[in-house]
C-alpha cells in the first residue's frame, strides 16, 4: 500500500527532478551558445587576417594567390579550406586545387552581392564541425569578390554534459533528503488522524484528534473534533428519539386498529346510503320519463284544441255567411213569387213578356245552383261540427233538395216558355202552382234561417268556452314544464348524491387499505426503532 509519505516523497522528487533537468539543460545550452559565439568571433578575425595577408602580398596572379592559400593552410592546422571567389561566383584560388574553377555556393553569391559578412556551422566530410566564414574582399588579380574560410572547431560538449550530470546528482541528493524530511513531517499528523478515524470506525466516538501543527492538518483535526462532538450529540438524541419512537409506534398501531374498525362501520353505512340513493335516483328517473310522456300528451291535446278553436271560428264565419246567403235566397224567392203574381195578372201580355220570362228563369237557375252549392257547403260544415251540427245538416239537406227542386222548376218554366205559344191556357194554372210552391219554399227557407241563427248562437256560446279551455290548458302546460324541470333537478341532485356516496365508499375503502398499510407500517416502525436502538447501543460516546 502506498503511504502518503511515499506519495509526497515521489511528488517532491519528481518536481525537483523536473526543475533540475530544466535548469541544467538551460545552462548547458547557454554555455554551448556562448562558446559558439566566441568561436565565430575568433574565426571571423582569422578570416580578416587571411584577407589582409592577400592584400599585403601584392599577388598579381592566381598562382601566387594559390601558393599563399596553401602556405597559410599549412601553417594553420585548424583551417579546413580557403577559397577565393570572384565577382562571378567562380572559385579562382583554393587551398584545394581541385575546387578551382568550380562555382561558389549561394552563401558566397549573397555576400558578393550584399557586401556583408556571414558565417555558418556545418558538418565536414569527416563529420567534424566546420565553421565557414565568408567576407567580401578586393584583389588586384580577380577584382571584387569574396573570401570563404572553413575552420574546424571542436566544442567540448561531453565535458559540459558530465559537469551537468554531476550537478544534477548533487541537487537530486539534496532534494531527496529535503523530500524525506518534509514528507515525514507532513505524514506524522496524518497518521495520527488516520489511526483515530480507524478507532471511530470501530464504534469508539470518545477519541480525540490531537496534532501539534499549525497548518491545514490542524484545521482538519479541529473540524474532526467538532464533527465527533456533533455525532456524539446526534447519537444521544437518536437513542432518546428511538426510545420515544418505539413507544409512539406502539400507540400508533393500536390507534390504527381502532380507526380501521370505525372505518369499516362507516363504509358499510355509506354503502347502504349509496344503494338507497341509487334506487331513489332510478325512481325519480322513471317519474321524469312519465312526466315527459304526460307533457307530450298535453302538448298534443293543446294542439288539437287549437285546431278545434280555429274550426269553430271558421264554422261561425261560414254560418254567418250562410245566413246572409239564405236571407238573399228568401228575398229572391219573394221576388219570384211577386213576379209570378205579376205573370198571372199579365197573362194577356204573355207574348210580349216571353223575353222577360226567359231572363227570370235564368236568374232562378243561377239562384238554385248557388243555393244547392251553399246547402252542400253547409252540410260539410255541419258534418265537421259533429253532434251540434246534426240538426243543421238536416236543414242543409232540405235546402239542397229545395235548391234542386227550384232548379227543376226553372227547367220546367223554360219548357213552359218553349210551349207558351201552344199551351197558353195552361200557363195560368201552372203559374198558380208555381206560386204555391214558391210560398211553401219561402216558409221552408224561413225555417232554415231560424236554424242558422240557432247554430250561430250555439257556436257563439261554444267558442268562448273553447277559448277558456285553451287558456286553462296553456296554464297546465306551463305548470307541467315547471314540474318536469324541478323533478329533473331533483333527479340530477339524486344522481350526484348517489355518485358522491359511491365516491365516498371508494374513498373509505382506500382509507381502510391505507389504514391497514399504516398498521403494518407502524409495526415495522416499532421493529425498526427497536433495531436502531440496539444498533446505537454499540457505539461508545
Q: Is 93 left (phi over 0), alpha (psi -120 to 50) or beta?
A: beta
Measured between alpha carbons, how far is 126 from 80 in angstroms, rounded to an integer? 11
User: Cα(165)–Cα(24) distance, rounded to whole angstroms?
Assistant: 8
Residue among 279, 319, 328 nearest 498 (CA): 279
Measured at the alpha carbon of residue 157, what is the angle toward residues 156 and 158, in degrees to the nearest 5?
Answer: 90
Amino acid 83: pLDDT: 82
- For 210, residues 6+ apart whose C-beta sits below 8 A from its C-beta are 192, 221
Helix (H) or strand (E) holding 137: strand 129-139
Residues 391 and 379: beta-carbon distance below 8 Å? no
**How many residues are recorded in the chain?**
541
Are the C-beta atoms of 104 and 88 separated by less than 8 Å?
A: no
Is there a contact between 447 and 329 (Cβ–Cβ < 8 Å)?
no
Helix (H) or strand (E) holding 500: helix 424-536
Instruction: Output DSSP code: residue 495.
Output: H
Rg over alpha carbons for the chain, rounded to the nearest Å, is 76
In contact, 189 and 217? CB cutoff 8 Å: yes
CA 394 and chain centroid, separation: 84
Note down pLDDT in tens along the chain; length 541 residues.
445 556 566 665 666 666 666 666 666 566 555 555 555 566 666 667 776 666 655 555 667 777 777 777 777 777 778 888 888 888 888 877 788 888 888 888 888 888 788 877 776 666 667 777 888 876 545 567 888 888 776 555 566 667 767 777 887 788 777 777 777 777 777 777 777 777 777 777 677 777 777 767 777 777 777 877 777 777 777 767 666 666 666 666 666 666 666 666 666 666 666 666 566 666 666 666 665 665 666 666 667 666 666 766 776 676 667 667 767 766 776 766 676 666 666 655 655 555 566 677 777 777 767 777 776 777 777 777 777 666 767 776 777 777 677 677 767 766 766 666 566 555 566 666 666 666 676 676 677 767 767 777 776 777 677 677 667 667 766 766 676 676 667 667 666 766 766 777 777 677 667 767 767 766 676 677 666 666 666 556 6
Sequence-distant contacts of 233-238: CB under 8 A, at least 24 apart: 235/205, 235/536, 235/539, 235/541, 236/541, 238/532, 238/536
pTM of this structure: 0.28
Q: How far is Cα 92 from Cα 125, in angstroms, rounded to an integer?
A: 22
Helix axes 424-536, 390-419, angle to 10 degrees: 150
Q: What are the start-end ranges of the E strands in 254-343?
A: none
Q: If DSSP codes are grouped into helix, strand and coil, which group holds residue 138?
A: strand
- pLDDT at position 229, please? 75
**Angle at CA 293, nearest 5°, toward 292 and 294?**
90
- Please give the pLDDT value at position 428: 60
β partners of residue 86 = 145
DSSP 102: P
Please give the domain boundaries of the chain with CATH numbers for all domains: 4-180 (3.30.450.20), 293-506 (1.10.287)
pLDDT at 464: 74
Query: What's the distance, CA 58 to chain centroid?
Result: 105
Amino acid at each position: 500500500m502506498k503511504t502518503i509519505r511515499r506519495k509526497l516523497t515521489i511528488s517532491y522528487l519528481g518536481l525537483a527532478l523536473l526543475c533540475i533537468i530544466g535548469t541544467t539543460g538551460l545552462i548547458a545550452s547557454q554555455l554551448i551558445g556562448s562558446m559558439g559565439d566566441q568561436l565565430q568571433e575568433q574565426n571571423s578575425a582569422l578570416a580578416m587576417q587571411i584577407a589582409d595577408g592577400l592584400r599585403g602580398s601584392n599577388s598579381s596572379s592566381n598562382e601566387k594567390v594559390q601558393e599563399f592559400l596553401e602556405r597559410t593552410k599549412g601553417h594553420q592546422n585548424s583551417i579546413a579550406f580557403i577559397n577565393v571567389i570572384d565577382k562571378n561566383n567562380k572559385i579562382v584560388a583554393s587551398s584545394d586545387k581541385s575546387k578551382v574553377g568550380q562555382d561558389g555556393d549561394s552563401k558566397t553569391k549573397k555576400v558578393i552581392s550584399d557586401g556583408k559578412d556571414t558565417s555558418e556551422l556545418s558538418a565536414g566530410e569527416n563529420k567534424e564541425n566546420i565553421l565557414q566564414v565568408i567576407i567580401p574582399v578586393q584583389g588586384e588579380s580577380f577584382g571584387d569578390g569574396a573570401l570563404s574560410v572553413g575552420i574546424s572547431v571542436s566544442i567540448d560538449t561531453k565535458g559540459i554534459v558530465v559537469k551537468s550530470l554531476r550537478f544534477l546528482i548533487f541537487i537530486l541528493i539534496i532534494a531527496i533528503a529535503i523530500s524525506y524530511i518534509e514528507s515525514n513531517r507532513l505524514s506524522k499528523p496524518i497518521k495520527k488522524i488516520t489511526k483515530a478515524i480507524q478507532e471511530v470506525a470501530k464504534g469508539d466516538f470518545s477519541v480525540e484528534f490531537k496534532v501539534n501543527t499549525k497548518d491545514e492538518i490542524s484545521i482538519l483535526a479541529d473540524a474532526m473534533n467538532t464533527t465527533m462532538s456533533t455525532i456524539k450529540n446526534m447519537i444521544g438524541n437518536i437513542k432518546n428519539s428511538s426510545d420515544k419512537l418505539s413507544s409512539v409506534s406502539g400507540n400508533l398501531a393500536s390507534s390504527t386498529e381502532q380507526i380501521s374498525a370505525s372505518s369499516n362501520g362507516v363504509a358499510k353505512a355509506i354503502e347502504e346510503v349509496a344503494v338507497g340513493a341509487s334506487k331513489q335516483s332510478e325512481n325519480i328517473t322513471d317519474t321524469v320519463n312519465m312526466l315527459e310522456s304526460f307533457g307530450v300528451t298535453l302538448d298534443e291535446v293543446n294542439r288539437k284544441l287549437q285546431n278545434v278553436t280555429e274550426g269553430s271560428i271558421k264554422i261561425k264565419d261560414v254560418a254567418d255567411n250562410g245566413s246572409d246567403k239564405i236571407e238573399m235566397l228568401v228575398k229572391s224567392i219573394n221576388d219570384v213569387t211577386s213576379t209570378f203574381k205579376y205573370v198571372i195578372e199579365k197573362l194577356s201580355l204573355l207574348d210580349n213578356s216571353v223575353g222577360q220570362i226567359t231572363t227570370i228563369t235564368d236568374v232562378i237557375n243561377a239562384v238554385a245552383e248557388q243555393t244547392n252549392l251553399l246547402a252542400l257547403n253547409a252540410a260539410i260544415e255541419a258534418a265537421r261540427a259533429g253532434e251540434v251540427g246534426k240538426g243543421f245538416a238536416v236543414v242543409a239537406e232540405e235546402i239542397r233538395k229545395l235548391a234542386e227542386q227550384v232548379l227543376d222548376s226553372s227547367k220546367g218554366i223554360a219548357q213552359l216558355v218553349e210551349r207558351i205559344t201552344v199551351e197558353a191556357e195552361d200557363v195560368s194554372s201552372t203559374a198558380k202552382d208555381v206560386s204555391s210552391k214558391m210560398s211553401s219554399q219561402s216558409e221552408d227557407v224561413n225555417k232554415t234561417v231560424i236554424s242558422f241563427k240557432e247554430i250561430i248562437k250555439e257556436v257563439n256560446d261554444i267558442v268562448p268556452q273553447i277559448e277558456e279551455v285553451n287558456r286553462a290548458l296553456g296554464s297546465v302546460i306551463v305548470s307541467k314544464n315547471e314540474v318536469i324541470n324541478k323533478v329533473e333537478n331533483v333527479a340530477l341532485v339524486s344522481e350526484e348524491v348517489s355518485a358522491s356516496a359511491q365516491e365516498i365508499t371508494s374513498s373509505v375503502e382506500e382509507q381502510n387499505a391505507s389504514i391497514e398499510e399504516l398498521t403494518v407500517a407502524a409495526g415495522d416502525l416499532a421493529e425498526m426503532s427497536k433495531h436502531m436502538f440496539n444498533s446505537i447501543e454499540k457505539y461508545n460516546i
